[in-house]
Structure formats: structure tokens, C-alpha cells
């Protein structure tokens, strides 16, 4: 088992390469100049109908890039005996795939066979952040779509229970630094967490403590009310921060107060460098936004073995 796991990790690490130089912000300038406006229109329409869409698209892009690079493999559907990434345990709660499908359909109508699904997802994640009050940035484009998507590989995604060493290892394997880790964790300013992702902190935390002592006591009590020990409500959970539909720096302020839901959030205070960055971003929204943009471009430039331009994002050609 250990050998198999090592081979999986090695395969994924080999396929990850940060090649920003292969991408270009004006990649579609002549072949599909309408691409950005079409994607932003699709995202805007979806957000107007569902305020959870921005968090969903940002998370989807992150989960795509951390498995085989940013190749749109998270968009593929399971087929036959192959269980795809979107059906892996960490991705079951992903949603809003229809936004990417709608954008792709509109793009194919004017620029057939030109724009990759991976690029559409990268653009949609940027637009999701911007429409939530966050920064806007030029997205390098030119990704190709991958043909491989395996649910088993989603075990490589950083878990909400990770400690700082596990987080650092996960990010460094993908060429991302501790600053990238803290900046990208700021994406937790958007979204919602189900009870299962943080129950380790509020029930049977350790043999001697029922509740994680790093949690603010009143916040922990509230979480235990929402998520009782034998919780049976499928949709029960907590917002990731106090303004979970607005892209701001409240997430970092809440970390310092012990009011974030994931162990991986609180873990950012257990290393001198990451703790310093949390404090910096909590006190200066502009510094956070600048770092977030830099790290998003870096992460979204991780390309794997993409080979094609899909005609439909759910299926290989």
C-alpha cells in the first residue's frame, strides 16, 4: 500500500510543472477575443441567481489545479469503470459546473474548437472573486484540457484537518510557498463548510478534551449547536467566515480570534512565518489582495499533461 501511495504521489509531482511562460494573457486575442466577456457574462448571470456560485467556482479551480495541474480534469464525468475526480470524496460537494458548461457552449458558438475548458474555469474563478468584491487580474491563458480524471487522486488534496507540516508539504509539492499557502487560504473568505469537515474540533477532540482548545469557547458552543454529535442533517454546517459572500480579509481576523472552522485554518498560527502573514493580511486588506492575486496566477499556471481542446467540458474528445 505504501509503495502504491508513493507511486501516486510521484506521478502527480512529475505531472506538475509551473510554466507561466507557456501561458499568455492575450492568448486568444486573435482567435477568440470575446472569450473573457462571454465567461464573465455566464458567471454574472449565475451569481445573480445563486450567491453560492463564487465560492463554488473558486474552490473548483483550486481542486482542479491541485490534481494533475490546471487541466480541467475536475470537470470530467465518470464513465464506465472510471470514477472521475468530481466523484471523489473531497469533491462531492462541488457544484456550479453548469456555469462552465454554459460559458463553453456560448464560446463554441462563436469560436469553435479554440478555447479550453481549463482556461474557462481559470477565468470563471477570477470573475467569481471580482464579483464578490475582490480584486481583478489578467489571467494568463493557453492551457490544454487533460484526458485523465481519477477519483482516487483526490486524496492528494489538502484536507481541512491538515496541520502546518502537511499543508506545507502539499503546497511545496506543487511549487507553492508558505506565502502562497497563507494567501490562497484566504479563499476561505467565501463559502460554507459542512459539519463533517470540522467535527474533529468540536466532538472528541482528544482523550482529555472534547473541544479543540484553540477554538473560541462561544464559537465552539455555537458550532456544537449547529452540528450535534449525532448530526443527521445533510446540509448542516457553518459559513467559512462572518462575511462569506464577500471577498475580504475577515477570514484572517477570525483566525486570530479562534473563530475559523477548519483545523487547517488555525494551523496557520503554528508556524512563525505563516502566523506573521496572517497578522499582516488581517491588518491590511490591500496586502492580502496583492498576495492573493500573485499566488492565484502562480497556482493557475501549474500545467500538467493537457492535450486537447474539449468540445464539451464533461467529456474527452
Q: Please pick, among 30, 61, 63, 194, the residue that the annotation labels catalytic.
A: 63
Active-site residue, 63 included: yes
8 Å CB contact between 257 and 194: no
Name the one residue in this structure whose C-alpha cell is 470537470: 75
User: How many angstroms separate the CA atoms of 168 and 82, rounded?
Assistant: 31
Helix/strand number for the chain, H first, E second? 13, 4
Strands 192-194 and 237-239: antiparallel
Query: What proportions of the chain, in percent to the nearest 5, are helix, strand and coil?
Result: 55, 5, 40
How far apart (Å, rounded) are the C-alpha atoms in residues 199 and 230? 10
Phi, psi of 308 (to 5 degrees): -145, 175
Write down the H helix ranges in 132-205: 164-172, 178-185, 199-202
Do β-strands 237-239 and 302-303 pair in parallel, antiparallel, or remain unpaired?
Answer: unpaired
Beta bridge partners of 210: none
Residue matched to cell numbers 467566515: 241
Q: Which residues are catalytic?
A: 63
Amino acid at each position: 500500500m505504501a509503495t502504491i501511495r508513493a507511486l501516486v504521489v510521484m506521478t502527480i509531482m512529475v505531472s506538475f510543472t509551473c510554466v507561466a511562460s507557456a501561458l499568455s494573457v492575450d492568448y486568444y486575442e486573435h482567435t477568440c477575443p470575446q472569450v473573457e466577456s462571454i465567461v464573465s457574462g455566464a458567471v454574472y448571470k449565475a451569481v445573480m441567481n445563486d450567491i453560492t456560485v463564487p465560492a463554488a467556482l473558486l474552490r473548483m479551480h483550486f481542486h482542479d489545479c491541485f490534481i494533475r495541474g490546471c487541466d480541467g480534469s475536475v470537470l470530467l464525468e465518470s464513465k464506465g469503470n472510471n470514477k472521475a475526480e468530481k466523484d471523489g470524496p473531497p469533491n462531492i460537494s462541488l457544484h456550479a459546473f453548469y456555469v462552465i458548461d454554459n460559458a463553453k457552449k456560448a464560446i463554441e458558438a462563436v469560436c469553435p474548437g479554440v478555447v479550453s475548458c481549463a482556461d474557462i474555469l481559470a477565468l470563471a474563478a477570477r470573475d467569481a472573486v471580482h464579483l464578490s468584491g475582490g480584486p481583478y487580474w489578467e489571467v494568463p491563458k493557453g492551457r490544454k484540457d487533460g484526458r485523465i480524471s481519477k477519483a482516487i487522486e483526490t486524496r492528494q488534496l489538502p484536507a481541512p484537518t491538515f496541520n502546518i507540516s502537511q499543508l506545507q508539504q502539499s503546497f511545496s509539492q506543487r511549487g507553492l510557498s508558505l506565502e502562497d499557502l497563507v494567501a490562497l487560504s484566504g479563499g476561505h473568505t467565501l463559502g460554507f463548510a459542512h459539519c463533517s469537515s470540522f467535527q474533529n474540533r468540536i466532538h472528541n477532540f482528544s482523550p482529555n478534551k472534547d473541544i479543540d482548545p484553540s477554538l473560541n469557547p462561544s464559537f465552539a458552543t455555537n458550532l456544537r449547536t449547529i452540528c450535534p454529535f449525532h448530526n443527521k442533517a445533510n446540509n448542516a454546517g457553518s459559513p467559512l467566515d462572518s462575511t462569506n459572500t464577500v471577498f475580504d480579509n475577515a477570514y484572517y481576523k477570525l483566525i486570530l480570534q479562534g473563530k475559523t472552522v477548519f483545523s487547517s485554518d488555525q494551523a496557520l498560527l503554528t508556524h512563525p512565518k505563516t502566523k506573521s502573514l496572517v497578522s499582516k493580511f488581517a491588518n491590511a486588506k490591500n496586502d492580502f489582495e496583492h498576495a492573493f492575486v500573485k499566488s492565484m496566477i502562480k497556482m493557475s499556471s501549474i500545467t500538467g499533461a493537457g492535450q486537447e481542446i474539449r468540445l464539451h467540458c464533461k467529456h474527452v474528445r
